[in-house]
Structure 1
Amino acid sequence: MTGICAGRVAAVTGAGRGLGRAHALALAAEGARVVVNDLGVGPGGEGGSADPARRVADEIRALGGEAVAHSGDIATTEGAAALVATALDAYGRLDTLVNNAGFLRDRMLVNLDEDDWDAVLRVHLKGHFLPLKHAAGYWRAESKAGRARRARVVNTTSGAGLLGSVGQGNYAAAKAGIVALTLVAAAELARYGVQVNAVAPAARTRMTERTFPDAMAVPTTGFDAMAPENVSPLVVWLASADSAGVSGEVFEVEGGRITVMEGWHPGPTADKGHRWTPAEAGGAVRDLLPGLREPAPVYGAPSGD
């Protein structure tokens, strides 16, 4: 197949449904050979089945592409290592990793159980770290052997991780952690020819169905701004060699809109030159706050009207 990913091998986690499936299909349509990973769990992480990954791999092959299924748990060392090994065994290389797997267990903080906290941090944050670690180990070895790859990693964060989201403390914390992980990985892995970016998608998935039911409405006419397929073109471009020079960025994607997100920058500052008293520190903060740019509101927070 031809396309901007022709000759490349991509592994996509959480690719059995929703955004991950859309990414896998779009990568294959642009010529990538795809490892389709999905543990096949329910919306809250319950159960498990190899069928979702197998169905998407079959779908890609039926369309003339190349794909293999992987149903291992990428939030374990064994599963993450097996993901990379599956790519190497099937196709002899790995060029792109798209980290997308996740689920929700939403609760207000006072009702959030430790198990729900751990489960969501595990699948999202640890489920990004471990595949990235094992893929990076492969790319480092290739670079040291004189076979540096034009490797790409696309992580999946969320507006919840950028702004916060009421009732999603565990999910928001995990997604914020993914942004920091993206920045660190981009800095550390550049020497091996690896670029690392993140997308914050807004799309119709099983997770948005539970959290934002209105987002599931499908328009009867016109452009479907919430279709998962709208996010995939940017993911495919970031996954390709064409994205050379773009690394350490976070992109918000919704419908036909792409926004480059700007992270933390120093704002208004006061420097006494000596230690503050508590009252002086408070007074300085009061003076500084009016100089801040108005922040975007936390999702779900009262508007104050």
Structure 2
Amino acid sequence: MGLPGEMRVVEISGPGGPEVLVPAVRKVPQPAAGEILIRVRAAGVNRPDLLQRAGSYAPPPGASDLPGLEAAGEVAAVGAGVSRWKVGDEVCALLPGGGYAEYVVTPADHALPVPEPLGMIEAAGLCETFFTVWSNVFERGRLTAGESLLIHGGSSGIGTTAIQIARARGVRVFVTAGTEAKCHACLELGAEMAINHREADFVAAVKDATGGRGVDVILDMVGGDYLPRDVRALAPDGRLVMIAHQKGAEVSMNFSLVMVKRLTITGSTLRPQSVEAKARIAEGLFREVWPLLDTGRIAPVIAESYPLEQAAEAHARLESGQVAGKIILEVA
């Protein structure tokens, strides 16, 4: 059966709040060389989608203006030169954009097979967080077995992913979260300690738990005044990995302690990276992490799902800060 000419989408009518997300109809895209077309069954909702909707995170050149950076579904068509996938294969994929739609194109090497235990809703919540965590915590942050990790925002999609992968790889995990319920959720996933940042000082807590040494790696998506505190909480030769700055991108900080403790400060954003760089991340995930998903040792934490047409409600819910895990849009 041939592909339809049009598809349902949710587009951004203009910068603003969740209400600017509106259903629309567009032409079905066609895969170029090296790309696949996915019939989307479910798509993940992520904080970069909120930033794009607000007008502060423009799509890279050539990417769809539709939000949505991850999806799961079936391969509907393949472009020239694609041999890894065939029509009908079930995949989950990192997207350059366009996930809030019935069909989306993406580079073939950014897709991975749907893990055996997972359905489409669960698989749709994998790629954006797993690519981010693997590339930042384990590649840039060089976190290894026997070390310790502090995750800010432990109950987020990023946080719940990082907790599980780190624990499966023999790492001690500490997290911060904003409510007792979120702290409990992190402990259930395997965190050794969950610190309610509204009630306790995370620097003192991790120092106490590590005999005064501090942690080897910190994953920070908060930024702002957390950064100088991160430096105090790190062990000698520790690594601070920044992936977002919800409390601001600028801070005044004394770097003497960075030098004395021989710290590394690094970070990245995923979407602007090259096709080749994302393909390398996918290779690492398939080799090192996908076996954990296939055997059920780890799994994405799905908080809620909404029909595609209720994307505005999904955004409002994510912005509420009351969600532990991922929010998914059910597309087909």
Q: Which range, TM-score by smaller chain?
A: 0.3 to 0.5
Structure with greater contact order relative to length (CA < 8 Å, sep ≥ 6): 2
Q: TM-score, normalised by structure 1?
A: 0.38
Larger helix fraction of residues: 1
Larger strand fraction of residues: 2
